[in-house]
C-alpha cells in the first residue's frame, strides 16, 4: 500500500530513491555504537545495515480540499552536487513515479519545502533546454522565510559550500524568479486540515506540517528525525543540524506532541514503513506502531 487516508486527507508516498547513505558514526557523531547495537533488531534491515544508515528520498503527496500538495521534492535530476557523489547529475524516474500515483506536474497546486536543504528542493526545478525551470508550472511553492534568507549565497557567501552548494541557484532562485514562491514565517494555515509551523534547529527555517482532520492527527516532520533511533535517542542530532540545542528541543517537543495526541509521525527520510507512532517511555519515547505503507 502506498496510500492511507487520514480524516479527509489522502496521503500518498512517492519514492525518489532509497538505500545506504552514510556510516552511522559520520551521520550521527554523538550516538554511541552500542545504542545502534541495542536497537539493531528494530532497525535492520530497513534503517541500518553493515554500519550504514539507510534512508529514503521521498515525497509525501497530500490531496486535501480538492488540491494536490507535495511535501518536499527530493534531490532532483541533472544537478551538479560536488559534495555528494551519489546525488551528482542524477537521472531518476521520479516524475514517472508521480505519474503512477496519478499526478502530472501541472496537477500540483502547492509544493511545501519543509526546509531548503539539497534533498528537499531538488525536484522544485528541472533542466529544460539548459535552463532551470519550475517542475510544477501551476504550483505555489511555500518556503520558510528564515531558510530562504539563510541559504541565499548573497547573504552568507562563506556558508553555502558543502552539501548545499549550488542548491539555492538551481532549485530555489529559478522558482522565485518565476513568481511562484510564497515565503512564510511563524505559522501558516494551508486549509482546514493542514498547517505549517516553524520548528527551527536542523536549519533556521525548518518546519513541521501538521494534519488534523476528523479524529486523525499527523506530523510531517521533515528532518527533525532521520532514523527511528532518534525516537529512542532523541537527544542526538545528525551532522547536518545547524543548531544542535534547538534541534534537540524541537525533536523532543515533536515526539511529546505525537505521543500526547496519538499523531502519526512522517519524517522526510524514513525508509521501511516510512512513518511511525510513538509513546512516552520513562524520560524518553518508544515506537509503538509502524504505518501500513509498503516497506522500501
Ligand atoms: Zn533531508
Summarize pLDDT for 70-83 with one digit per residue, the tens.
999 999 999 999 99
Residue 223 CA, ligand 1 centroid: distance in Å: 5
Residue 209 CA, ligand 1 centroid: distance in Å: 15
What value does the mean pLDDT take over residues 144-151?
Answer: 97
Give 96-146 pLDDT, tens digit per residue.
Answer: 999 999 999 999 999 999 999 999 999 999 999 999 999 999 999 999 999
Q: Which of 73, 62, 71 is nearest to 95 (CA)?
A: 73
Residue 208 CA, ligand 1 centroid: distance in Å: 13
Residue 106 CA, ligand 1 centroid: distance in Å: 25
Kindly give, in sequence order, each residue whose CB lies less than 8 Å from that of residue 58, ignoring residues fewer than 6 positions away: 13, 14, 15, 16, 18, 72, 74, 268, 269, 274, 296
> What is the distance between the alpha carbons of residues 241 and 118, in angstroms, rounded to a whole number?
13
Going from the C-alpha of 26 to that of each of 53, 143, 162, 165, 259, the distances in angstroms are: 10, 29, 15, 20, 29
> At residue 160, does pLDDT exceed 70?
no
Residue 120 CA, ligand 1 centroid: distance in Å: 6
What value does the mean pLDDT take over residues 235-261?
Answer: 97
Residue 207 CA, ligand 1 centroid: distance in Å: 12
At 3 the pLDDT is: 97
Going from the C-alpha of 90 to that of each of 33, 79, 85, 169, the distances in angstroms are: 32, 7, 10, 17
Q: What percent of the chain has pLDDT over 90?
A: 97
At 72 the pLDDT is: 98
Residue 224 CA, ligand 1 centroid: distance in Å: 9
Residue 185 CA, ligand 1 centroid: distance in Å: 20
> At residue 197, does pLDDT exceed 90?
yes
What value does the mean pLDDT take over residues 237-259?
Answer: 97
At 1 the pLDDT is: 81
Q: Which CATH architecture has domain 3-290?
A: 4-Layer Sandwich (3.60)
Mean pLDDT score of the chain = 96
> What is the distance between the alpha carbons of residues 137 and 95, in angstroms, rounded to a whole number?
14
Q: Which of 25-39, 121-135, 153-167, 212-226 has the lowest mean pLDDT?
A: 153-167
At 156 the pLDDT is: 81
At 163 the pLDDT is: 87
For residues 140 and 180, the answer to whether their CB atoms sit within 8 Å is yes
Residue 266 CA, ligand 1 centroid: distance in Å: 13
Give 31-72 pLDDT, tens digit per residue.
Answer: 999 999 999 999 999 999 999 999 999 999 999 999 999 999
What value does the mean pLDDT take over residues 24-29?
Answer: 97
Residue 123 CA, ligand 1 centroid: distance in Å: 13
> At residue 165, does pLDDT exceed 80?
yes
Residue 180 CA, ligand 1 centroid: distance in Å: 22
Residue 267 CA, ligand 1 centroid: distance in Å: 9
Residue 246 CA, ligand 1 centroid: distance in Å: 17
Residue 203 CA, ligand 1 centroid: distance in Å: 10
What value does the mean pLDDT take over residues 138-164?
Answer: 89
Residue 260 CA, ligand 1 centroid: distance in Å: 26
Confidence of residue 95 (pLDDT cuts 50, 70, 90): very high
> At residue 21, does pLDDT exceed 90?
yes
> What is the distance between the alpha carbons of residues 226 and 55, in angstroms, rounded to a whole number?
8
Give 268-278 pLDDT, tens digit per residue.
Answer: 999 999 999 99
User: pLDDT: is 38 or 160 the higher one?
Assistant: 38
Amino acid at each position: 500500500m502506498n496510500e492511507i487516508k487520514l480524516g479527509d486527507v489522502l496521503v500518498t508516498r512517492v519514492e525518489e530513491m532509497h538505500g545506504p547513505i552514510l556510516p552511522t558514526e559520520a551521520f550521527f557523531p554523538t550516538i554511541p555504537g552500542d545504542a545502534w547495537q541495542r536497537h539493531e533488531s528494530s532497525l535492520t534491515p530497513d534503517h541500518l545495515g553493515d554500519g550504514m544508515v539507510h534512508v529514503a528520498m521521498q515525497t509525501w503527496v497530500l490531496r486535501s480540499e480538492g488540491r494536490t500538495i507535495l511535501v518536499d521534492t527530493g534531490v532532483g535530476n541533472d544537478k551538479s552536487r560536488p559534495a555528494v557523489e551519489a546525488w551528482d547529475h542524477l537521472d531518476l524516474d521520479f516524475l514517472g513515479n508521480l505519474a503512477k500515483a496519478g499526478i502530472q506536474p501541472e496537477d500540483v497546486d502547492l509544493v511545501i519545502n519543509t526546509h531548503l536543504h539539497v534533498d528537499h528542493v531538488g525536484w522544485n526545478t528541472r533542466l529544460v533546454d539548459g535552463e532551470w525551470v519550475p517542475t510544477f508550472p501551476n504550483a505555489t511553492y511555500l518556503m520558510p522565510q528564515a531558510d530562504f534568507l539563510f541559504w541565499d549565497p548573497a547573504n552568507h557567501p562563506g556558508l553555502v559550500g558543502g552539501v548545499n552548494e549550488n542548491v539555492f541557484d538551481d532549485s530555489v532562485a529559478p522558482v522565485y524568479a518565476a513568481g511562484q514562491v510564497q515565503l512564510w514565517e511563524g505559522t501558516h494555515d494551508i486549509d482546514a486540515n493542514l498547517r505549517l509551523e516553524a520548528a527551527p534547529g536542523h536549519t533556521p527555517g525548518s518546519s513541521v506540517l501538521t494534519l488534523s482532520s476528523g479524529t486523525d492527527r499527523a506530523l510531517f516532520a521533515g528532518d527533525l528525525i532521520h532514523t527511528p533511533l532518534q525516537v529512542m535517542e532523541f537527544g542526538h542530532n545528525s551532522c547536518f543540524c545547524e543548531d544542535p540545542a534547538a534541534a534537540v528541543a524541537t525533536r523532543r517537543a515533536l515526539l511529546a506532541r505525537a505521543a500526547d495526541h496519538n499523531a502519526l509521525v512522517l519524517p522526510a527520510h524514513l525508509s521501511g514503513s516510512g512513518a511511525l507512532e510513538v509513546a512516552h517511555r520513562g524520560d524518553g519515547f518508544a515506537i509503538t506502531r509502524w504505518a501500513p505503507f509498503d516497506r522500501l
